[in-house]
A = this chain, B = another copy of it.
Amino acid sequence: MEQLNSLFKEKSLKVTPQRYAIYKYLKSTKSHPSAETIYEDLKVNYPTMSLATVYKTLRTLIEIGLVKEINVGEDNFRYDANVDTHPHLICRSCSRVDDIENYNFTFINEEAQKLTDYIIEDSKLFFYGICPECQKEGR
């Protein structure tokens, strides 16, 4: 949360309860929720929270680099407060999205840099398959 406070001060953005709650929520989960899901979950404790505020806050957090936006092939975006570049696992049966952690994939950026005249700054890597739970269910 210190990151939020100091970065907001620096950019002269206001730390409102809504913004705080949204960022804290994203920091606390690994489920890569959509805006709608964030909204639904926060509404319980923040009954006046509006979906528009969720979207506006997410946009702000993305702009200052505290959140990343991903699209795994659905009709909506998902949000992740883990901004370290890391691969995602997407289950094509239940649509859950997991992280691959503790493994450094950044070498692929360097690998790609050798193959192109682009200046490569970042990458997104998605693996598609079947999660352990769905395998057990025989899906």
Is A7 close to B, CB under 8 A?
A: no
Number of identical protomers: 2
Q: Given A116-B89, A135-B119 in contact, is the A127-B105 Cβ separation under 8 Å?
A: no
Interface size on A, residues (CB 8 A): 34
CB-CB nearest in chain B for A122? B128
Whether the Cβ atoms of B103 and A115 lie closer than 8 Å is yes
Q: Nearest chain B CB to A21's CB is how many angstroms away?
A: 25
Is A98 close to B, CB under 8 A?
A: yes
Q: For window 101-119 of chain A, which residues contact chain B by CB distance below 8 Å?
A: 102-103, 105, 108-109, 112, 115-119
In the complex the two chains form, what is the Cα distance from A115 to B129 in whole Å? 13
Could you give 5 example pairs across A and B, Cβ below 8 Å? A108-B108, A117-B135, A120-B127, A120-B128, A122-B128
Interface residues of chain A, those whose CB is within 8 Å of chain B, are 69, 71, 73, 87, 89, 91-92, 98, 100, 102-103, 105, 108-109, 112, 115-132, 135
